[in-house]
Amino acid sequence: MVFAGAEMLSGRRFLVTGVAGFIGSNLAEALLDLNCHIRGLDNFSTGTKQNLVGFDGHPNFEFVEGDIRDMATCLRACNGIEYVLHQAAWGSVPRSITMPLEYEEINIKGTLNMMEAARRSGVKKFVYASSSSVYGDDPHLPRVEGREGRTLSPYALTKRVNEEYGALYAQLYGLETYGLRYFNVFGKRQNPAGAYAAVIPKFISQLSKDESPVIFGDGTQSRDFTAIQNVVDANLRACVAPTAAAGGVFNVASGVSIPLIEVYESLCRLLGKEIAPVYESERLGDVKHSWADLSRSKEILGYQPQCNFHKGLEEYLGWFERRWRGELIR
């Protein structure tokens, strides 16, 4: 589902960084459905070749294997491109606490390389992934752009720095940048494996194997869980956003905050499981509650959540079950 007016992007030339990742691959799929020309960039540090199944051989899809820390690669990837959707980054708050230098190199230097390459290449719009983690310890709810607290992790800090560079590149160089603050995105192609997997796919994977998932804290912590369909919609809207909004940042969320224990109970019902979770201590860097104010995104981008939490969860479970059975799907 795309918004009215998205057809004006048809035939345009896009670069999607992190295209083999969860969000990047969903963006590529949506753009190909709009008949856009896509160049994807990835080094497979977190993305997988499986996420690109269905794109291989597509006449409008071109793949470049490379690292955003390499400026020559960034320049080559931006050559002839009109729009950049920059998703390449390392996620995970806990991992960033153990590996701050790597996050500096990938998330800050890599993003700066991409902005500079886009500027030199005459890119029209540079849309990049930011994060709700930039709100840090701000006690106010819902989260409103321009009211941020202290960052609580290296990951959050890298995203805050990205936003500052985005504003600066718009101001100094006229590069139209748009930062999208994602709130706990979930959906198809999200990897459930590994110690740093996002909570929903990890719960689904463990429950499917009759394992007891771990909940860090008491389960009352809440998040604004956001279906991937909404993130795709927001990225497309940013590509047609007014120039006057360049340099700005925008919340991308469902606008509803749900306690983690309710998410767990919903999954148990949908999967037909009766498994008690294991509770462990809260993790460093985690915020207690997250909930987005969408006023700015609605007013400037025309953003409106297309898929609510429960619909998104049911669709994700359907996709997960098909993949679990070994079906090759996009």
Q: pLDDT at residue 26 above 90? A: yes
Q: Say which CATH number the domain at 149 has.
A: 3.40.50.720
Confidence band for 275, pLDDT divided at 50, 70 and 90: very high
How many structural domains does the chain have? 1
Give the least confident one: 11-20, 51-60, 114-123, 228-237.
51-60
| Cα dist from 98 to 45, 191, 196, 252, 294, whole Å | 17, 21, 12, 27, 33
What does the alpha-carbon distance between residue 80 and residue 13 come to, in Å, rounded to a whole number?
8
Asked if the structure places residue 330 within a domain, the reply is no
Residues of the chain with pLDDT > 90, as a percent, come to 79
- B/e letters for 277-303, b = 16+ CB within 10 Å, e = fewer, are beeeeeeebebeebbbbbebbeebbeb
State how far the Cα of 134 lies from the Cα of 151, in Å rounded to an integer.
6
Q: How far apart are CA 104 and CA 153, in angstroms?
A: 12
Choose the catalytic residue: 103, 155, 264, 303.
155
Asked whether residue 9 carries a pLDDT value surpassing 90, the answer given is yes
Give me the phi and psi of 57, to 5 degrees please.
85, -5
155 labelled catalytic:
yes
**pLDDT the model gives residue 325:** 57
Per-residue confidence (pLDDT) for residue 213, from 0 to 100 = 87
Domain that holds residue 253: 11-324
Residue 328 or 94, more confident: 94
Q: Mean pLDDT, to the nearest integer, of 187-199?
A: 79
Average pLDDT score over residue span 27-49: 96
Query: Which pair of tokens denotes residue 83?
Result: 């729009």
Residue 328 — very low, low, confident or very high, per pLDDT cuts 50/70/90?
very low
- Stretch 251-257: mean pLDDT, rounded? 96
